[in-house]
Amino acid sequence: MTLEHKEAFGLLEKSDNILVLTHRNPDGDAVGSAFALRSILKEMGKRVRVEIDTVPPSLSMPVTEEAFGDFEPDFVVTVDVADKKLLTDEHLEKYGDRVNLAIDHHESNKPFAENLLLDFRASAACEVIFDMLEEASFSVSEATATALYLGISTDTGCFRYPNCTAHTLYAASRLVEKGAPNAEINRIVFETKTRAYVQLEALAMSSMRTYFDGKCAVIVITQDMFGKTGTTEADVHGIAALPRQIEGVMAGIVIREKTDGTYKASVRTNEPLNAAGICGVFGGGGHRLAAGCDLTGTKGQVVNAILEAVEEALKEI
């Protein structure tokens, strides 16, 4: 059942012993929306537990830990999960068929929960939660503001991307007013690079190739490059945005080799090219201008496969 913001809030109000889940490889919006919901529910006097994959240090500001005795959830919420397949394997098995409420903002959302609060005009799941609090006239605490700011700022590339609306900026303004330490979060998330990352970025940029009259730029990051620079797959996040930034590029693609020898592609496009469409060819998905997919084969096969999909997509625009 599809809910309005206030109805979703009402469901949470009626519940107790709430388990909050998000997708694996959590990004800023996953961390922010999970821990924002945690602090809201705690303030409402609920028992809450967040179960989340490893959180990268740069996104850990809202994370709070708490010892739990026995905790048997009566109510399971997912945040920022567009498809139950994106849950960890453990969560998928245990809770995949008993999620009571999903709060999401992905246009590609595949409903899986008993109730769904979906607003794909929102830049982030955190913006959906902010709106829910406004609708319910629930006061935003500093802890909640901090978590929500993290999610909104990371999902919009710090308010740069086209998903940042007037309302997104309004939400951010209110959150900073409520005490979200925007300067500190921005410095840690957007303005701090390790030396190892800087080296990886330099290697990556020098390995970039362009295709189709410069409309497509492709970077392949190999395990060897991670090894040489002392970086990991988590460091690829910052690089994913770079090829699309080059003048004339419609599709910027960063393919990384995973430890098991398969590949993962991050596809960023400029309008009117649809990134989710390109990734959909390979069973992936995401947003219109930022999507991802898994690929198997040799490095050459993988690059060729994605180039074919890009070529098809370019023909259609």
Counting residues that bind a second copy (by CB under 8 A) gives: 38
Computed from CA positions of residues 26, 29, 34, 38, in that sequence, does the dihedral angle turn out positive or negative?
Answer: positive
- Residue numbers 202-221 binding a second copy by CB under 8 A: 202, 205-206
Annotate each residue in 105-144 with x if it binds a second copy (CB under 8 A) or - if it does not, as one string.
----------------------------------------
Dihedral (CA of 255, 289, 279, 150) sign: positive
Kindly tell me the sign of the dihedral angle through the C-alpha atoms of 231, 54, 265, 28.
negative
Shortest reach from residue 250's CB to a second copy, in Å? 12
Containing 265, the helix (H) or strand (E) segment is: strand 263-269
Q: Which stretch binds a second copy (CB under 8 A): 9-17, 63-71, 240-248, 275-283?
A: 240-248
Binding to a second copy by residue 159, rule CB under 8 A?
Answer: yes
Query: What's the sign of the alpha-carbon dihedral 231, 162, 81, 218?
Result: negative
In the bound complex, what is the minimum distance in angstroms from residue 205's beta carbon to a second copy?
6
**x/- site string to a second copy, residues 267 to 296, per CB under 8 A?**
---x--------------------------
Question: Which is nearer to a second copy, 179 or 280 (by Cβ)?
Answer: 179
Whose CA is closest to 235, among 268, 200, 203, 264?
200
Per CB under 8 A, contacts with a second copy among 162-201 are 162, 164-170, 172-174, 176-177, 182-183, 186-187, 190-195, 198, 201
Classify residue 235 by its DSSP letter.
G
Which two structure tokens, joined as six digits, stand for 129? 């939660």
247-280 core/surface letters (b: 16 or more CB in 10 A; e: else): eebbbbbbbbbeeeeebbbbbbbbeebbbbbbbb
Nearer to a second copy, 51 or 201 (CB): 201
At position 176, the amino acid (one-letter code) is V
- In the complex, the residues that contact a second copy under the rule CB under 8 A are 158-162, 164-170, 172-174, 176-177, 182-183, 186-187, 190-195, 198, 201-202, 205-206, 241, 244-247, 270
